[in-house]
Chains A and B, each alone.
Chain A
């Protein structure tokens, strides 16, 4: 990711190409959400019944986990901007820790479901569920990698790359935002 020059009047934080990606990703997921709503409207009862078999608790915990993680990432970014690099590293680290809990919890969610016979092929709702949450999970894993790179850069580089931190944070917040919508749509909406 390109390092944007830290002039006093920077218009947007982080690399512009990341914002292209974020907005585009949101639009793409948006299309998926609309498709989901459409198909849900077609077969409301099926979706309702299937939804009842989801593990709402883990879903809720995951939501809190991601929001907390995002909070720490935001704090870390602010610290990086302020120049207090050790603080930044610590804050990003905590954010990473919370973030890493997400896939772990997901495992506890998926495995019992699949072992219990609920697979993507079970019905349309579960296909949507597995595909969308699976896609999101990939985003989370990618985000964890990105944040790790940010931490490494903050710790080892002679002058920390603020733009990298901002870019990574932008991506991570997008991942969080996506999950909020996913959670509401798949788990909560009646």
Chain B
């Protein structure tokens, strides 16, 4: 019996695939993560910025970054099932569009640019290095509102689509974005972009959250009653005429 929710499942499973590529790109391939120090000595920084792996990382990311929207859409369809106003959905939508460019694609390009052409002055390479890391770790606003919207939607939801404690955990996600603000100021120490307070604590919170969110959503998709699906009207046994549901946004 074909699953009625095939579209949701296909989209759902695209996401771990994407995250794995994403992780590969940013860590073992390019060694962009964990972040290097803002204070790295110049020769080190230059050789990093000119490594060919950065270009490969760029190419791969260009190919797959389109799947980040799919991941965000998974959040969106769960929010849609909640009893809260569409405002939360739209906030997440707008935040994720901005965030994908500002926080993911552009930083990667900064690193690729340095490696693309040899012969750039060190000062230019340093600027790209700064720009890349600051944009990647310091991209606050868009993700702030995304997680705030998501968290509030979960907490205020009366349909209990996702568990309430997840909403609170998402609030912590929002807070880690706030905590990232000092990276624009500090060049060393715990508040720099590779610092204990801004980066490592944030990662310690973020990685489990990302996994937990997907586990919760998996259960939510699985437990969604058939009559709540958007295609439910098609399978109704009552002799309804071919009247599709009205437009809501």
Q: A residues bordering B, Cβ < 8 Å?
A: 1-2, 15-18, 20-21, 24-25, 28, 31-32, 35, 39, 120-121, 124, 127, 131, 135, 138
CB distance from A17 to the nearest CB of B (A): 4
Beyond A17-B168, A135-B179, 12 extra complex contacts between A and B, CB < 8 Å: A2-B160, A17-B155, A17-B165, A21-B165, A32-B197, A32-B201, A39-B190, A124-B189, A127-B186, A131-B182, A131-B191, A138-B178
**How far, in whole Å, are A16 and B166 apart by their CA atoms in the complex?**
12
B164 proximity list for chain A (CB < 8 A): 1-2, 15, 17
B191 proximity list for chain A (CB < 8 A): 124, 127, 131
Contact of B182 among A16, A17, A18, A120 (CB under 8 A): A120
The 5 closest A-B CB pairs, nearest first, are A17-B164, A21-B168, A20-B165, A17-B165, A121-B185
**How far, in whole Å, are A2 and B155 apart by their CA atoms in the complex?**
9
**How far, in whole Å, are A47 and B201 apart by their CA atoms in the complex?**
22
A31 proximity list for chain B (CB < 8 A): 201
A35 touches B182 (CB 8 A): no
Where chain B touches its partner, the secondary structure class is helix
Which residue on B lies nearest to A121, using beta carbons?
B185
B196 touches A35 (CB 8 A): yes
**How far, in whole Å, are A125 and B168 apart by their CA atoms in the complex?**
29
B190 proximity list for chain A (CB < 8 A): 35, 39, 124
A135 touches B185 (CB 8 A): no
Chain B, 184-227, contact with A by CB distance < 8 Å: what is the 0/1 string?
01100111000011000100010000000000000000000000
How many interface contacts (CB-CB < 8 Å) are there between A and B? 56
CB distance from A127 to the nearest CB of B (A): 5
Which residue on A lies nearest to B186, using beta carbons?
A127
Chain B, 22-63, contact with A by CB distance < 8 Å: what is the 0/1 string?
000000000000000000000000000000000000000000
Which residue on B lies nearest to A130, using beta carbons?
B182
CB distance from A128 to the nearest CB of B (A): 8
Asked whether B65 is an interface residue with its Cβ less than 8 Å from the other chain, the reply is: no
Which residue on B lies nearest to A43, using beta carbons?
B189
User: Which segment, of B75-83, B102-110, B169-177, B234-242, faces chain A?
Assistant: B169-177
8 contacts between A and B (CB under 8 A): A2-B164, A15-B164, A17-B167, A17-B168, A31-B201, A35-B201, A120-B185, A127-B189
Residue tally, chain B, CB below 8 Å to A: 24
CB distance from B190 to the nearest CB of A (A): 6
Asked whether B122 is an interface residue with its Cβ less than 8 Å from the other chain, the reply is: no
CB distance from B147 to the nearest CB of A (A): 14
Contact of B186 among A21, A35, A121, A135 (CB under 8 A): A121
**How far, in whole Å, are A51 and B170 apart by their CA atoms in the complex?**
34
**How far, in whole Å, are A32 and B202 apart by their CA atoms in the complex?**
11
Using a CB-CB cutoff of 8 Å, which residues 101-157 of chain B contact chain A?
Answer: 155
Asked whether B86 is an interface residue with its Cβ less than 8 Å from the other chain, the reply is: no
**How far, in whole Å, are A16 and B155 apart by their CA atoms in the complex?**
12
B185 touches A21 (CB 8 A): no
A135 touches B172 (CB 8 A): no
Asked whether B163 is an interface residue with its Cβ less than 8 Å from the other chain, the reply is: yes
B165 proximity list for chain A (CB < 8 A): 16-17, 20-21
**How far, in whole Å, are A85 and B218 apart by their CA atoms in the complex?**
43
**How far, in whole Å, are A35 and B179 apart by their CA atoms in the complex?**
14
User: Given A35-B190, A124-B189, A127-B191, A20–B182 Cβ distance below 8 Å?
Assistant: no
Which residue on B lies nearest to A42, using beta carbons?
B189
CB distance from A135 to the nearest CB of B (A): 7
B205 proximity list for chain A (CB < 8 A): 28
**How far, in whole Å, are A38 and B79 apart by their CA atoms in the complex?**
41
CB distance from A114 to the nearest CB of B (A): 13
